[in-house]
Structures are given as structure tokens and as C-alpha cells.
Amino acid sequence: MTQEVKVSRRKLWILSITLLGVWAALLLVAPAPSSAAGITIQGRLTGDDGQPTAGAVGLTLSIYDTDTATNPLWREEIAGVQVTNGIFAQTLGTGRNTGGSAQSFAAVFTGQPRFVGVQVNGGTELRPRILLTDAGHALTASSLLDSGSALTAANFLRRDGSGETTTTRTIRANGLIIGVTDEVARLDNNGFLDVKKIKIGGQEIVNTSGNLVGAARNVGGSLPKPGFNSRFELVNAERIFDFVSYADPLSPTPVTIIGPPEENFVVDQQFFAPDLGVNNRAIGSDVFDDFPGGQVGSYWTALTTQSLKVVRVGAASDQQQHLRVWSFGTNPSFPAPLFKSSNWTEINPGQTSSVTFPNVFKDHDKMVVSVIFFKDATNEIHNTFIGTDGGGGFNRGALWQNLKTSGIDVVRRGNDSDVDKFRVRVWEYDNVSSNFPKPDFDSGYIPNPDSFDTFMVFHNLNVSPERMLVDLTFRSDQVANKGINIDRYGGDSVGGGFLGANWQNLTTNSIEISSGGRAFSDLDFYRVRIWVVGQ
């Protein structure tokens, strides 16, 4: 859950509350530690100019029993909290206690809601306070132990390893359900905790086989270095990126794209803006319904073997841009797709075109799709209005949906004037016929919130965002023949609301997803996959 709070000359986004206490609830069946800690507050600080705070700050964290209380149950001070690109993280209960009515940090949590206030460098407490509901219950796990550290709650876990019991518990933070439900865990005869199944945020973290699900693999680069790599460059109205003459400032021996055809090219476009960091907001461009004449975002067009053109339409989140281009069949070579349209396929406005795949794919959840467009009037390959745009009274662009191992649908909107033809390219990892690598991070399918919200996903890859290739896809279960799709990819402002989703604030360890929510969209789930790119 993301909150934006303006106080004095500083902004704070509470990006997430990591309930390490969820794990504590299971681990405390062993002898209890001297103090109960484990709720970590993670946030993002910026100044009034929108620039992320950097360096060390002092934090004062106060825990109250109500949102309006003036006397805290617990107060602590932490000096030298490191802030990187505006991001900080601090675990409650680890600072210097400076007041409060509770006898200990653990005594703060009695099963009732608690509110956390944050002060930066001794300033005014930021509002609103952070609501903790049920999260603190994890810190009362020590009450399950008697003075001899023997488990007294037989219906929770058995220490003798003779059996397993199931607990059902929903954990909430800021009203967002992120808890574990229907976990199965036990202590074996050697005192080790044996966790059979854990879900967080609806995502399976440990499955019934005891395997981690969606865990990041920190590798040196699962995808080859791009043939063209611009790094981040300022783009005004439009800019030509010349593959041949451009020199990569970080590479002593620049590599350029070699040879045709252009339909074998894979283009990746990253944006940067002070308020959203590295992002893809309004990729393909977006027209605002409630802002006449307002158009934001960027798209690429006029792709040839020598160059491409980037067009930036209006102030938005794309002041600087990072362009990367690969080509299968060159050196270094992007993995060849298992399927590529043999020709450009014509598609009319308002038409849905179904593409049938050969019998080579095994699992639709391991497939990776790229669709490129062609405009007859300008004879250009492009990605204009990728995912489609419905603002300003228009309905333009094209998208793909209903991905299966047997085929895919491409949809052109009724008022579109740019997508006359398309080509589909599809890869699959864990397929003996393909050398496409597994993602270095896979979030799995994450439920879309009911209303507009921004969520942080931690990938922990520990590499520069410029070395990441991000794939954001959606899944719609409530609409027939929609399935896995990219409808309103990059976000679409329409009818006073926000459709689809985009990613933003990509850092070395995390990424944010900004979604319009299910109240205004048929996006039921989103999924983030990230590949590390060689250098």
C-alpha cells in the first residue's frame, strides 16, 4: 500500500511494511529471544523538488494505540539510517528506546491495531500514521511457550515431530492482506522448523514440495549484451538513435547491429524521471480523457538496420531514455524465437486476428511474447500505442491477449490509424528446443488491488536497473478469451480513471507496480519477470 504524505519540506511514500513477524510467528516456537522484533518499515523520501533523498538520516519511530494519540506506547531513535535513491528500510524495535508507556517493545502488541509515526531528522511527524492491523499478532508468538520453552498450544505446532497441524490466519498491513493462509509447518526431532507451504500476498513462496517459488537468481547476465545500447539520453520532441555512429560511453569497443532484417530486432525502451525513477509509464504514449490536448509518453518508430526514432509527446515520465536493440542471428545474438510470423499480417481497425502456433510450446506461463507493428502510410516499423490507448475520445493502437501454447490473439482498436500490419515473435524457457534463459526473477501472478494503488515488489537482483530487461504481463480471468495479455500496458488514463498498469522506480533490489485496480479494469493479476543483461 502506498501513501504519500507531505509535511514541511519532505515527502514520504510508505512503500510497504515487511512482516518479518510472520516468520517470527513460526520461528518463536523455539526458545524465545530476549526481544521481539521483525516489523520492517520501508519507504521512499524525496524533497519538494521531487529529487530522491540520499545519504544518512535520523529517524524517530513512535507507536500509538490510535491515529490521534499524543502519548506513544513506544518511541525509539535510530541514527544514520542509510537512504539510497530515496529508499530506506528500518526494523521496529531495534533503535534506542526514548520513551513510551509500554514496559517492552513486545508488550506493545496485544492484538489491537497500532499506528506508527515517522519523524525525519527531528522534524514534524509525517502524516498519516501507518496502520498496523494484526501484524503485531506475530510478535505474541512467545505466549505459546511456557517458562520451559515447551509449546503449550497443541493446536498450533507440535514440537515432537509426530504430526503436522494447519493454522489459518490473515495478516493485514495498512488494510492490505499480505498474510499467510493455510500454512503447514512443524518442528522436527532435531529442532528444525519444517515449513511445508507459505503464501504472502496470494503468492506461493514455499510450495508443498518445500521449494522456493519466484526466487531471484543473481547471475552475471542471462541475456547477451545488446547490439546497441544507448544508456540514458535526453529526448525532447524526437530523436534519432543511430546504431552505427553511436558510441557506448561505458564500452571501449562499441558493438553495432549487423545486417537485416529489421523484423528480427528486439527493442527495449526504459524511461527515467525524478519522480518515478526508471520506469515504463505511458510507453507507446497515452492521451488523457480529462485533459484536452494532453498527451504523454513515448514510442519508437522508423526502425531500420541503421537507426530508430524516438518520439516524445508531452511532459511525462520519460525525460531521459535508455534504448537497447538486439537481433537474433547476429553476434552477440539474442536467442531465436520458437515462433515468428513468416510475413507481416494485415489487420483492420476493430479486428481480432488469431495466430496459430506450431506444436512446439509446452507451458504458456513460460512463454515470452513480442509483437511489432507496421504502418503502411509511412512504411515504418513501430510500437505506437502498444497495449492500446482509449483517452481523448479515441481508441487506438493494438495489443495481444489470450496467450496459449496453441496460439495468440492480436486486437486492433476501432479508431486506430497506425497498426496496419503486425508480426508476432514468441520464446519459451525450460523448453529443449529453445536456448532462451529462465528469468532471473519471477514474481508469479500477484492479485490486482480493488482500486488504484502502487505496490513494491522485491527482486533482490543487486545489479543496475540499466542491466535489467523487465517483462510485465497481465491475466484476466473474468473476461472470456482475454487470458494472459498486455491490455493497457504502460497504463491508460481514460474516463477519469486509470486502466492497466505500468512499472516504475526500478532499483537494484525492487520495482513498483502502479495499477488502476479491478474497480476500473478487468486486470485480475499482474506478473513481473526480470532478466539480467550481459555487459
Give residue 360's pLDDT: 96
Q: Which residues contact 72 (CB under 8 A, 6 or more apart)?
A: 62, 63, 64, 99, 100, 101, 117
SS3 399: strand
Domains delineated in the chain? 3-206 (no CATH), 441-535 (2.60.40.10)
- Higher-confidence residue: 329 or 168? 329
Nine-digit cell at 129? 500514521
SS3 176: strand
Give residue 521's pLDDT: 65
* Host H or E run for residue 21: helix 20-27
Model confidence over 72-111: pLDDT tens digits?
999 999 999 988 877 888 888 888 999 999 888 888 888 7
Cα distances from 382 to residues 224, 225, 306, 329, 374, in angstroms, run 23, 22, 15, 21, 6
Instruction: Assign 380 a pLDDT band (cuts: 50, 70, 90).
Output: very high
Average pLDDT of the residues in 405-411: 96
Model confidence over 289-311: pLDDT tens digits?
444 456 677 888 999 888 899 98
Range scoring the smallest mean pLDDT among 199-203, 264-268, 516-520: 199-203
Give residue 292's pLDDT: 47
Range scoring the smallest mean pLDDT among 14-28, 242-256, 317-331, 474-488: 14-28
Average pLDDT of the residues in 358-371: 96
- Higher-confidence residue: 345 or 226? 345
Whether residue 285 is predicted with pLDDT greater than 60 in this model: the reply is yes
Cα distances from 35 to residues 85, 103, 131, 147, 431, in angstroms, run 31, 12, 22, 15, 49
Tell me the pLDDT of the chain averaged across its residues.
74
Give residue 248's pLDDT: 54
Range scoring the smallest mean pLDDT among 47-56, 193-202, 523-532: 193-202
Bridge partners of 410, per DSSP, are: 353, 400
Distance CA 324, CA 231 (A): 8
Give residue 1's pLDDT: 32
Average pLDDT of the residues in 167-194: 42
Distance CA 463, CA 457 (A): 15
Instruction: Assign 213 a pLDDT band (cuts: 50, 70, 90).
Output: very low
Whether residue 193 is predicted with pLDDT greater than 70 in this model: the reply is no
- Higher-confidence residue: 76 or 287? 76
Cell 480493488 sits at which residue? Answer: 450
- Higher-confidence residue: 432 or 391? 432
Query: How do 114-120 and 172-173 pair as beta strands?
Result: unpaired
Range scoring the smallest mean pLDDT among 307-321, 331-345, 367-381, 404-418: 307-321
Other beta carbons within 10 angstroms of residue 102's beta carbon come to 18
Average pLDDT of the residues in 146-152: 36
Give residue 274's pLDDT: 86
Give residue 441's pLDDT: 93
- Higher-confidence residue: 379 or 496? 379
Give residue 23's pLDDT: 30
List, in sequence order, every beta strand (DSSP E) within 48-112: 55-64, 74-83, 87-91, 96-99
Distance CA 65, CA 72 (A): 8
8 A C-beta contact, residue 491 and residue 516: yes
- Higher-confidence residue: 15 or 377? 377
Range scoring the smallest mean pLDDT among 231-235, 321-325, 402-406: 231-235
Give residue 50's pLDDT: 65
Whether residue 46 is predicted with pLDDT greater than 50 in this model: the reply is yes
8 A C-beta contact, residue 29 and residue 157: yes
Give residue 410's pLDDT: 96
Range scoring the smallest mean pLDDT among 19-33, 203-217, 220-234, 331-345: 19-33
Give residue 196's pLDDT: 54
- Higher-confidence residue: 276 or 2? 276
Distance CA 43, CA 130 (A): 11
Distance CA 374, CA 383 (A): 8
Range scoring the smallest mean pLDDT among 389-398, 462-471, 510-519: 389-398
Whether residue 161 is predicted with pLDDT greater than 50 in this model: the reply is no
Average pLDDT of the residues in 370-383: 92
Burial (CB count within 10 angstroms: exposed 0-12, middle 13-18, buried 19+), residue 443: buried
8 A C-beta contact, residue 476 and residue 411: no
Model confidence over 263-284: pLDDT tens digits?
899 999 998 988 889 988 888 7
Distance CA 147, CA 301 (A): 70
Q: Residues 433, 437, 438, CA angle at the centre, nearest 5°?
A: 110
Whether residue 151 is predicted with pLDDT greater than 80 in this model: the reply is no
Bridge partners of 483, per DSSP, are: 476
Whether residue 200 is predicted with pLDDT greater than 70 in this model: the reply is no
Range scoring the smallest mean pLDDT among 256-265, 275-284, 425-434: 256-265
Give residue 454's pLDDT: 82
SS3 108: helix
* Host H or E run for residue 27: helix 20-27
Whether residue 227 is predicted with pLDDT greater than 90 in this model: the reply is no
Return the exposure string of 276-305: e unless at least 16 CB atoms fall within 10 Å of the residue's CB, then b. bbbbbbbbbbbbbbeeeebbbbbbbbbbeb
Give residue 442's pLDDT: 93
pTM above 0.75, yes or no: no
